[in-house]
Chain A
Amino acid sequence: MKDLGFSISQSRTIDLDKSDLSAYRRVVEKVPSAKLCLMCGACTATCTARNHTDFNFRKVHLLFRRGQFEGLAEELDKCMLCGKCRLVCNRGVNTRAIIYNMRIILENLNYKSIK
């Protein structure tokens, strides 16, 4: 193939009909305020982890919502659960609880609670 000096990027289509949306429903059940998020990014701006690395609540929230779980568990492990984001959010989203629940759902194996 002729090198035209640029390449065609991979398709970024997300087929929501094929994604697993049930996991997010579980999160919303536990943290109803998740629905209020308008993806403004204020939480990310204040984030303690973000200060050190590329971590973004808005992004992980969105990925989870769409059922794109690949690599998400590791990404969520970057959060320190410090709770700053929750205090900053002016929509009253309990961001910290959302992260907590996403972790539990994604890593049932790693975060085995004691029964």
Chain B
Amino acid sequence: MMNYHPFVIPFTVGALFLFGVVFYKFYAWIAALDRKQKFMVKQNIFSFKTIRAIGEIFREALVHRNIYRKNPVLGYMHMSLAFGWFLLIVVGKIKASLYAGTFFEPPWLGIFFNFFAVDGHAFSHSEMLTFTMDFLLLIILSGLALAIIKRVKSSLLGMRKTTKHSRFDRIALSSLWFIFPLRLMAESTTASLHGNGGFLTNSVGHLIPSTIAPYAELPLWWAYSISLFVFFVALPYSRYMHIPTEVVLIFLRNWGADTGEQLSGYTDIQLNSCSRCGICIDACQLNFAAGISNVQSVYFVRDARYKTLSDEVVNNCLMCGRCSNECPVGLELTLVRQQFRNKQEIPGKFYYEYTEPVESKAGVDVIYYAGCMTHLTPSIIISMKKIFEAAGVNYWFMDEDKGVCCGRPLRQQGFIQQSKNLVIKNSRIINSARAKLLVTSCPICYKSFREEYNLNLPVMHHTEYIEGLLADGRITLNASNVTVVYHDPCELGRGANIYEQPRNILRNFSLIESNYEKENSLCCGGSLSDAILDLRLQLKIRDHALGELTKDKPDVLVTACPLCKKSFVHGNKARVMDIAEIVAGNLKVIASKKRPVRKEELQLV
């Protein structure tokens, strides 16, 4: 048979196996999507979102633009391997089709083209295609060289840490290292015998002694085919499964799939989309400030995927979101980790029946909910009262005496059902007041109200609220030249996207920037989400963060979270104030009293 040789068998068998396993996995995951996710898919599959997803697949799965932005060398490495190989397959296919004169030539012809195409018969664009193929091979080999350097010495690529490997990873990785050098050698040997290569393979071919070439040719093609076989068979069980899976992930994400509360097929898809690039390791304070290096998202994802998760890996995490923010694949790492914390619900069981019902106060405009933590920083409460009074707000301090927790701390530890019980209790009180706005001082409560509650009024964190009061001229501040640095609390910044409001307020002072602004802000270490972290290490994280934030010796370190304030105050490095305190301390005039909340303020939400 023409264009056939037994050495194509390993490649063909491996490729068939790969397609079988990958499609079986895709099918199983999609079948295991939850109801809401399936609904979103059905809603959006025939919409513009699909086209957008295809664009994103090109940018991220092939060109790896996100990695490129974070680290150009690493980005080049990923791009050359992924995009280079993809093009090699596509161009190889075109070339083979043109050569065979049919679109339905055997699938291996493109892969082993140079071995078969030795008769020198002409076909269109052959020179250009041969050049392209050699060029692509060169690009891939350069990426491979970087990959090998990264393995040996990751710091050369600007990374502090690189990931450890599982058995399948090692098999897949070793075969991947061999594939392209073997291809180069096989093509070059054939080129030296038949003179059919391009600029690269031909020149390498000249280096091969003509006495060896005839004996080396077939073994090299066999080895090339076998290395492909090994890679294909190991792929679905190795980190490289991320290559096909990321495509599915991007589609689902664009169609609006939500990670959700419970494990689902979408969880598996996210777990399998991690390329183990290790970027999240460098982002994690547990790593660079506390020296813990076995719980970061990459390890969590790996262990979850191989079902070897330990209690420690699930729970030793601040849930600060720094890793999700950096992850080039855009995995919702904290939400997925949360899924593994969530406990099963027990139908019909109710908790916290002991709480005494709080009568809500009727006829107020604003409900103020300080939050449990804020009660430990009474200065924030005093400041908020002062601000409310200065602005003449008709408010009711809901948890002044007998507050109930918002429920988020329970949720963070996976006690979903208990958390929901508290949500019901608080919702009843809040909704029955029929007020116009709910203001809270704690970012944790704020996030909880926004995401878990079904309220009949908008919610604001006090940063948003104060910004609105200032913008409306209901309160004014004395000019001040106090230098301040602002620390974005995790739950308010990365958690709720509130970045500009506090900065707008602080423009009334002399605001200086730290190296950790906005999305890149550090966690104070006091996160409730980590119930494992040793106090000593927690303080290390705090001191590192505090050191970074006070580098330029600001007069005041301002934050907007009672927990952050509490953490930093004990660090004794700088004066620490909540944003409400610094505002209350600089109030100028008492503006018009008892004005109802204006509509524009409500629209801020």
Residues of A within 8 A of B (CB): 30, 32-33, 46, 48-49, 51-53, 77-78, 80-84, 87-88, 92, 94, 96-97, 100-101, 110-115
Q: Say yes or no: A80 contacts B352, CB within 8 Å.
A: yes
Find chain B residues with CB under 8 A from A112 CB. 343-344
Q: Say yes or no: B418 contacts A82, CB within 8 Å.
A: no
Q: Say yes or no: B409 contacts A83, CB within 8 Å.
A: yes
Is B166 part of the contact surface with A, judged by Cβ < 8 Å? no
Q: Say yes or no: A77 contacts B351, CB within 8 Å.
A: yes
Give, as a whole number of angstroms, the nearest-CB distance from A69 to chain B.
19
> Interface 1/0s, chain B 403-435, versus A by CB < 8 A?
111010110011100100010000000000000
Stretch at the interface among B106-114, B212-220, B530-538: B530-538
Find chain A residues with CB under 8 A from B535 CB. 33, 92, 94
Known A-B contacts A77-B351, A77-B418, A110-B346; the reply to A83 vs B373 at CB < 8 A is yes
Give, as a whole number of angstroms, the nearest-CB distance from B53 to chain A.
29
Find chain B residues with CB under 8 A from A78 CB. 352, 354
Closest B residue to A32 using CB positions: B534
State in angstroms the CA–CA spacing of A91 and B535 once bound together: 10
Q: Say yes or no: B409 contacts A81, CB within 8 Å.
A: yes
Question: Please, how many residues of chain B have a CB less than 8 angstroms from a CB on the other chain?
Answer: 39
Task: Beyond the given A81-B405, A81-B415, A82-B409, please list 7 additional residue pairs across the A-B interface where CB-CB is below 8 A.
Answer: A48-B404, A87-B373, A96-B409, A100-B413, A101-B531, A113-B343, A114-B339
Find chain A residues with CB under 8 A from B307 CB. 115
Is B520 part of the contact surface with A, judged by Cβ < 8 Å? no
* 8 interchain pairs, CB-CB under 8 A: A49-B352, A78-B354, A80-B352, A82-B405, A84-B372, A96-B528, A97-B532, A112-B344
Q: Say yes or no: A52 contacts B373, CB within 8 Å.
A: no
State in angstroms the CA–CA spacing of A32 and B425 once bound together: 35
Known A-B contacts A51-B403, A52-B354; the reply to A81 vs B373 at CB < 8 A is no
Which of B342, B343, B528 contacts A83, CB < 8 Å?
B528
Is B376 part of the contact surface with A, judged by Cβ < 8 Å? yes
Is B42 part of the contact surface with A, judged by Cβ < 8 Å? no
Known A-B contacts A51-B402, A87-B566; the reply to A80 vs B532 at CB < 8 A is no
Q: Say yes or no: A30 contacts B534, CB within 8 Å.
A: no
State in angstroms the CA–CA spacing of A111 and B346 once bound together: 9
Known A-B contacts A80-B404, A84-B375, A100-B413; the reply to A52 vs B531 at CB < 8 A is no
Closest B residue to A53 using CB positions: B354
Interface hits, B207-262 → A, CB 8 Å: 262
Which of A46, A111, A114 contacts B376, CB < 8 Å?
A46
Residues of B within 8 A of A (CB): 262-263, 307, 339-344, 346, 351-352, 354-356, 372-373, 375-376, 402-405, 407, 409-410, 413-415, 418, 422, 526, 528, 531-532, 534-535, 563, 566
State in angstroms the CA–CA spacing of A113 and B535 once bound together: 26
Known A-B contacts A97-B531, A113-B414; the reply to A84 vs B373 at CB < 8 A is yes
Find chain A residues with CB under 8 A from B341 CB. 113
Find chain B residues with CB under 8 A from A80 CB. 352, 372, 404-405, 407, 409-410, 418, 422
Q: Say yes or no: B355 contacts A87, CB within 8 Å.
A: no
Which of B262, B375, B402, B526 contacts A52, CB < 8 Å?
B402
State in angstroms the CA–CA spacing of A51 and B351 once bound together: 16
Q: Say yes or no: A82 contacts B372, CB within 8 Å.
A: yes
Find chain B residues with CB under 8 A from A81 CB. 405, 409-410, 413, 415, 528
Give, as a whole number of angstroms, the nearest-CB distance from A54 to chain B.
8
State in angstroms the CA–CA spacing of A49 and B354 once bound together: 9
Q: Say yes or no: A114 contacts B531, CB within 8 Å.
A: no
Closest B residue to A91 using CB positions: B535
State in angstroms the CA–CA spacing of A92 and B341 once bound together: 25
State in angstroms the CA–CA spacing of A59 and B355 once bound together: 20
Closest B residue to A89 using CB positions: B535
State in angstroms the CA–CA spacing of A96 and B263 once bound together: 26
Closest B residue to A74 using CB positions: B351
State in angstroms the CA–CA spacing of A49 and B534 once bound together: 25
Closest B residue to A88 using CB positions: B376
Give, as a whole number of angstroms, the nearest-CB distance from A111 to chain B.
5
Q: Say yes or no: A52 contacts B413, CB within 8 Å.
A: no
Find chain B residues with CB under 8 A from A83 CB. 372-373, 409, 528
State in angstroms the CA–CA spacing of A77 and B531 once bound together: 17
State in angstroms the CA–CA spacing of A51 and B403 once bound together: 8
Find chain A residues with CB under 8 A from B354 CB. 52-53, 78
Find chain A residues with CB under 8 A from B372 CB. 48, 80, 82-84
State in angstroms the CA–CA spacing of A96 and B403 once bound together: 18
Closest A residue to B414 using CB positions: A113
State in angstroms the CA–CA spacing of A96 and B355 once bound together: 20
State in angstroms the CA–CA spacing of A72 and B323 once bound together: 38
Find chain B residues with CB under 8 A from A77 CB. 351, 418
